[in-house]
Structure 1
Amino acid sequence: MSERADRIIAALRSGHDHLAALAGGLGADDLTRVSGAAEWDVSQVLSHLGSGAEIGLAALEGALEGTGPKDADFNRSVWARWDAMSPGDRAERFVPANEALVARYEGLDARAREELRIDLGFLPTPVDVATAAGLRLSEFTFHTWDVEVAFDPAAVLAAEATGPLLDQIGMLIGFLGKPDALEGRPVHLAVRTTAPERSFGLNLGETVGLGDEPAEPDAVLSAPAEWWLRLTTGRHAPAYTPAGVTLTGDALTLDDLRRVFPGF
């Protein structure tokens, strides 16, 4: 488990360094441009990541110090403070806020990475470092894409994060997928990804779940792993879908899959 935590923390560092450099070069007009999260401009995405870093750091410190998580009033006060900032302040203050969280994760020794349990406040039980840092990596990586795609429609998820996120998507897929979009039509899909290469099954029925690749799938989705991950979180518009994505079989279309995963 410590090895998994190590990979995730390393991906948090490379992701932070990349986005911090990008944020530092954005002008006033750039910061108010619509992001990949359509209801937010670029500065609001950075605000979300900055406030999330403060809240995540407080949860991590609470676990290390034995004081537990902060209450809901703390979270609300953090969000309110970031919401009140100007676009320029959000971009500037995001960098040290996220640096503090990443550095704290980096400072954990091997024992803590293996044994520490963190109460995030929104899950039923405390989780290990790999899970807590993995959830932050998911949030950070997808929102980094939201920033980048505002300037480059061909933007992709960070390669260092794609493998770890692919390993953990199964625990979120039931929440992300909305099978009612298929109006009760069960579909067993084979999913085959590249970079990294994986193959597995996507079962769309009363619920959405992952499993082994079916021997006789109703359809086969072939895609870069980063696009598969973007699909599951609603970042899948045709304009953001590379030519290498293919879906064979008559059971459903890419637009059907987009409806199953509308984002949030």
Structure 2
Amino acid sequence: MKERNAWKVNGYLGILVIFALFVLGFVLLVPASSPIAGVALIIIAALLTSSITVVQPNQAQVVTFFGSYAGTIRESGLWLTVPFSLRKKLSMRVRNFNSAKLKVNDIEGNPIEIAAVVVFRVVDSAKASFDVDNYEQFVEIQSETALRHVANKYPYDSFEEAGYSLRGHSDEVASELSRELQDRLSVAGVEVLEARLTHLAYSTEIASAMLQRQQAAAIIAARSKIVEGAVGMVQLAIAQLQREGVIELDEERKAAMINNLLVAIVSDRSANPVINTGSLY
């Protein structure tokens, strides 16, 4: 199915025509006139009365005539359309769908809780009416299916630099979720405007263990940065001492100095320096 425009004329003009037909028909019913023509005009006017319809803003009416799709009326206002037709109202407004919290496994097998909000609207009334039974229910089911599929493709958190993760790359994950939803919902004539994760967390049974893992990873990363900075500071200090000729350091004293500086910088407690004032002899 593909949406097309239904036949229609201005409803106010149609009301005037119907009124004129009624008046002319009753005039012809006068005994001196043609009663058969009068009855025919009244019947035609009555038939046209059934075709008057009102379309609200951002609303469409899908017109069917004896089981055949006659078209869609999108323009708001009062219209005269096909007589004896059935007209189904369909909202074209932008809507939100909030998925329930789903319990799924990420690519590493960790159970997580995830939820999303989907912003969508109907762009093809024919597909939404005839290609699926209930397009709103179709959107709900396909949204949850797509969310599960995307969650299974990525880890919750990446403890390495390479690769995407659900927590660290929310924009990329949301873009992929939108693309997958659009592929699934195009059959229903629905356009996905946006899809965003609204909830993401480890399941309760592993939340404490994964929190300890995150804390350990953060400590290791911080220590690596501290050691990297400490080595650079020691190199600069030794290079400056040698360049300015303040003191000549042999390999043994250089090693001792490096050891003392690294301990003072890397230690998580304040260093207690021991001042050497020289020997008595």
Task: Tell me which interval the TM-score lies in, with the shorter structure as reference length.
Answer: under 0.3
Highest RCO, 1 vs 2 (Cα 8 Å, sep ≥ 6):
1
The higher radius of gyration belongs to: 2
Instruction: Specify which structure has the higher proportion of helix.
Output: 1
TM-score between both structures, scaled by the size of structure 1: 0.18
